[in-house]
Amino acid sequence: MKKVRKAVFPVAGLGTRFLPATKAIPKEMLTVVDRPVIQYVVDEAREAGIEHFIFVTGRNKAVIEDHFDIQFELNHTLAQRGKDDQLAKLQRLQPLPGQTSFTRQQEPLGLGHAVWCARELVGDEPFALLLPDMIMQSEKSCMKEMVELYDNTGGNIIAVQECDPAEAHKYGIVGRGEETHNGFRITSMVEKPKQGTAPSNLFINGRYILQPEIFAILESQERGAGNEIQLTDGMLRLEQDQRFFGYHYRGRTFDCGSPEGFVEANVAFALARHDLSAKMAGAIEELLVDMKPAPLQKTG
């Protein structure tokens, strides 16, 4: 069985939910505390043992490529000024030469199409797919656990987590079959099920390990919901021939493609930082006190 060595990051979306912030800046470069969103996702992949990082970019996204490049002048200046901690931090996060590849999705035709654009760079091997909007906060890295499951089961792996059953119609939902290792067999998949028809409340949260056969399927995939080429439609076809397993992720996920998820992520990651948490907790408490309505006056 081939190891999962490569990860694909589709970063060609327009980010319309986050306008006007995303008019000139890619949403993946907005910062959560002091790192761009994309850095969290790349770090998660690296922690899972991924060796090659493939970015599917679009117009106005060149700054993502710059972010993962070495900035010689900056490194030199930091060294000269004795800012060794900052320099070490940059070097720790820096991909090694040849570890990154970039390809363009010339038109944003949908997530399925973006994944298909990576076919030549992935080649004939299983790959991890991480949606960079979604950043995770948990003790155990989501993708690392998925790779562990994959090493036991093979096939395709999808990370899922629980949602309020009343909200299931908003998501891609999977049916839960028998338990296996740290996961379970997926019995069905449905994109945005009609209310009351979802097979479970486990929604697909933006992390996948897929077999390369998905590329041939996506090549002939017709446009689906939103007039876009949908990855879920492709996976439904792949499911007819191949096994799918679910990894039940139990940490937090923040949808940084929406302003509310992004702000929540900033608060959560700041509170988790030893150098910031006390100050942040105090500031949040103060803000909340100011927000509370004045207590009702007793009458009589």
Say if CB 205 and CB 145 are below 8 A apart: no
Residues 65 to 84 in contact with ligand UTP, rule: CB under 6 A: none
Answer for which of 54, 122, 127, 132 binds ligand UTP (CB under 6 A) is 132
Radius of gyration of the chain from its Cα atoms, rounded to whole angstroms: 21
Residue 245, SS3?
A: strand
Say if CB 219 and CB 212 are below 8 A apart: no
3-state secondary structure string across 282-296: HHHHHHHHHHCCCCC
CB of 61 to ligand UTP, least distance (A): 9
Query: DSSP code of 182?
Result: T
Q: Closer to ligand UTP at the Cβ: 15 or 172? A: 15
CA distance 45 to 52: 9
Instruction: Answer yes or no whether residue 149 interacts with ligand UTP by CB under 6 A.
Output: no
**Region near ligand UTP per CB under 6 A, out of 62-70, 110-118, 189-197, 268-276:** 110-118
Answer for which of 8, 10, 119, 247 binds ligand UTP (CB under 6 A) is 10
CB of 36 to ligand UTP, least distance (A): 13
Q: Closer to ligand UTP at the Cβ: 52 or 113? A: 113
Q: Tell me which residue has tokens 């041939």.
A: 216
- Nearest Cα neighbor of 129 from 268, 32, 9, 279 is 9
Q: Closer to ligand UTP at the Cβ: 105 or 205? A: 105
CB of 103 to ligand UTP, least distance (A): 11
How remote is the C-alpha of 283 from its chain's centroid? 29
- Nearest Cα neighbor of 8 from 96, 113, 106, 149 is 113
Answer for which of 108, 175, 224, 251 binds ligand UTP (CB under 6 A) is 108
Instruction: Answer yes or no whether residue 126 interacts with ligand UTP by CB under 6 A.
Output: no
CA distance 163 to 141: 20
Answer for which of 1, 3, 16, 99 binds ligand UTP (CB under 6 A) is 16
Q: Closer to ligand UTP at the Cβ: 131 or 265? A: 131
Q: Which residues bind ligand UTP (CB under 6 A)?
A: 10-18, 56, 105, 108-111, 113-114, 131-133, 257
